[in-house]
Amino acid sequence: MDNTEILSETKRILKDNYNKVMGPFFLMVIISAVTQSQDIISYIYDNYGVVAGTVYSLISVVITAVIGVGLASFSLSIVEGRTDTNKLKDGLNVVPKAVVIYLLYVVAIVVGFLLLIIPGLIISIMFSQVFFILSKDPDVDVIDAFKQSAAMMNGHKWQYLWLSLRYGLYFFLSIFTLLIWTLWLFPQMYTSFALFHSKVSSGSLKSKLFKR
């Protein structure tokens, strides 16, 4: 299944489900974006001190990690034809592990980008499946989640990169629709990545791009 087929299957899956998924996706993405806003974090540090700023930053990390797992779980339910909004709460069941995985993921990417842009990009793609893995197996060991992701992405990094860039272009073009298109793009993007994960984890994904 190449990216064109993934996009086509995504649209088929969502065709009669946009009314069920647009709201939840938009709400979760907005909450995540607001809690991670550097403007808000800087404002709290500047006006309420280091302690308040640090507490808010920690809360932001927890919320982002929990939402990451929830969105992964919800997206997989859509691919499986269940569209279960209760899956958005799955991150609450694995808060400590989700936070550790999120922090390790961020640190790995930062270190990679400090070395050079390409290593950072490769690392971000290599470990891109960790939230999906955790959402499916809450008992998975943290290090094993990263190992599994790296193994899954072996041979599929280029396809994932092009899929990501494709959605990046779509979000850029959504500016010309006053961002209205993003209401459809968020469900499409997350469902496409969930579909990608489902195929790559089962070994049935065949990339027509360069293997890496």
Nearest one of 71, 123, 69, 57 to 96, comparing CA atoms: 69
For residue 70, being part of any structural domain is answered with yes
Give me the residue label for tokens 């190992």. Answer: 147
Q: Contacts from 100-109 at CB under 8 Å and sequence distance 24+?
A: 100/142, 101/65, 101/130, 101/131, 101/134, 101/142, 101/145, 101/146, 102/61, 102/64, 102/65, 102/68, 103/61, 103/65, 104/142, 104/146, 105/130
Residue 135 has pLDDT above 90, yes or no: yes
Asked if 134 and 146 touch (Cβ cutoff 8 Å), the reply is no
DSSP, res 178:
T
Query: Could you tell me the pLDDT band of residue 1, with boundaries at 50, 70 and 90?
Result: confident
Nearest one of 85, 71, 81 to 31, comparing CA atoms: 71
The pLDDT assigned to 4 comes to: 93
pLDDT tens readout for residues 41-98: 999 999 999 999 999 999 999 999 999 999 999 999 999 998 899 999 999 999 999 9
Q: How much is the mean pLDDT over the chain?
A: 92
Residue 104 has pLDDT above 70, yes or no: yes
Range of the domain at 17: 3-202
For residue 208, being part of any structural domain is answered with no
For residue 39, being part of any structural domain is answered with yes
The size of the chain, in residues, is 212
pLDDT tens readout for residues 136-178: 999 999 999 999 999 999 999 999 999 999 999 999 999 999 9
Asked if 88 and 24 touch (Cβ cutoff 8 Å), the reply is yes
The pLDDT assigned to 209 comes to: 40
The pLDDT assigned to 65 comes to: 97
Q: Domain count of the chain?
A: 1
The pLDDT assigned to 195 comes to: 97
The pLDDT assigned to 207 comes to: 44
DSSP, res 185:
H
For residue 190, being part of any structural domain is answered with yes
- C-beta neighbour count of 104 within 10 angstroms: 16
For residue 210, being part of any structural domain is answered with no
Query: Could you tell me the pLDDT band of residue 210, with boundaries at 50, 70 and 90?
Result: very low
The pLDDT assigned to 46 comes to: 95
For residue 207, being part of any structural domain is answered with no
DSSP per residue over 85-128, as a string?
GGGGGGGGGGHHHHHHHHHHHHHHHHHHHHH-HHHHHHHHHHTT
pLDDT tens readout for residues 40-50: 999 999 999 99
The pLDDT assigned to 114 comes to: 84
For residue 157, being part of any structural domain is answered with yes
Stated pTM of the model? 0.90
Q: What is the mean pLDDT of residues 175-194?
A: 96
Q: How far is CA 26 from CA 36, 71, 139, 150, 156, in A?
A: 15, 11, 29, 29, 28
For residue 212, being part of any structural domain is answered with no
Instruction: Lowest mean pLDDT of 15-29, 109-123, 140-154, name the range.
Output: 109-123
